[in-house]
A and B are shown apart, each in its own frame.
Chain A
């Protein structure tokens, strides 16, 4: 009999998580390479009795919007953006990680590193090292990095069959068990540009309002149900 309260509660718990996802999108609206996330809900059916069927709500998955973010010009020669599908590869102690945040720089060993200091890998699996005494870095559309002394290497730009299977590990990095595949030829590297996050603030704000109103309506439903049970107990109690 109290099932309707539990159904409303399952809705409220799902909505809370949805608000968490939306607020993470809003917090990252200026994070380079960030991809907007969306919560997916499913019905979760349970059969408490023989003829009854109660359907709860459950948050099933978080999906990423994989569309490209807006490009901004930064004037930094090591800010690289990918126009199209694909990821840069960086090296960590626990294997390669993939990222679309192209705010790279040189470290004291003249390696190209990401914002967290992890070396960016070339297609031979080695970090890209700029020779000493060079100051002019040129990155061409196909990912070839060159200085005034000639080419240094080619960035390892990869893609995956199912990008939704990639897991965020924070700091703009993703990890996956899938085998990397070469990025399509249409994907080009743009030098001096950064891909912004693809969060659409207006959409997120309306989403947040919607979450709040739905939370309220679930609340009202719980209050009404509570009221109904209380009146029922009072009336039945009086007739005895």
Chain B
């Protein structure tokens, strides 16, 4: 019976929905995390009586046909790129992007990765690195005798050296934007890789047209709205239950058919 398989597609889809929601909730306090949402599509339809076929010798045309769908599938798990809130930390090396763009990070393999998590630190050599110790691109080295670091909204890094009054420019933070940022591949550790779907990275300075601005002393929180996630979770759970009910009903009907005398 078809409904058995249809109920199964519903349960599989809702299971993936719950998995997506639980990953969002688990990352609700992850810096720079962008929530994901499962999107569903109906499957193919089978025509039992084609629309427009005739229903009598007189040529009467059936107004609508008999089409039975084959269930549901997950079309995509889309990333919602809404800006997260800015959380003030007052840490000199915490920077948040206000608007579109990604920091560029050099991986140990030499490849470039992209991130929105601006909780940077200094390496033993004074290089600005991510929480995992990967340097940002282009490399910015803070002199060891610097007493103050200031990063302005267009990404210029200025330091004040011990005993000096004037500040000194030591580097420029750059951002990358993508035609389709939702097409970036998440690799974990808050990092994303460029893909064929995202388009090539366009690099520019913060504050330039199309690029976000930089806020020093703040971190972009995840854009997960926990209340919204919980309500979606309840909807997903109920949908799962109803699909299992479909399977149970079909099973009972099949049982009756097999017990026919």
Contacts and interface: CB of A to CB of B under 8 A. Distances in A.
Chain A contact-residue range equals 35 or more
Contacts of A162: 63
A167 interface: yes
Interface string B199-238: 1001000000110000000000001000000000001101
A172 interface: yes
A108 B196 CA distance: 7
Interface in A1-33: 12, 16-17, 19-24, 26-32
Given A31-B41, A115-B75, A201-B242, A62 B65 contact: yes
Contacts of A168: 42, 45, 67, 69
Interface residues of B, number: 70
A76 B3 contact: no
Nearest to A133: B210
B135 interface: no
A132 interface: yes
A168 B69 CA distance: 8
A205 B2 CA distance: 17
A105 interface: yes
Nearest to B67: A62
B66 A24 contact: no
Contacts of A133: 202, 209-210
Contacts of A148: 209
Interface of B: 1-3, 6-7, 9-10, 13-14, 17, 37, 39-45, 48-49, 51-52, 62-72, 75-76, 78, 80-82, 99-100, 177, 179-180, 182-183, 196-199, 202, 209-210, 223, 235-236, 238-239, 242-243, 245-246, 249-250, 252-253, 256-257, 260-261
12 contacts: A20-B3, A23-B10, A26-B7, A27-B72, A60-B62, A61-B62, A61-B63, A61-B64, A74-B37, A108-B180, A133-B202, A201-B238
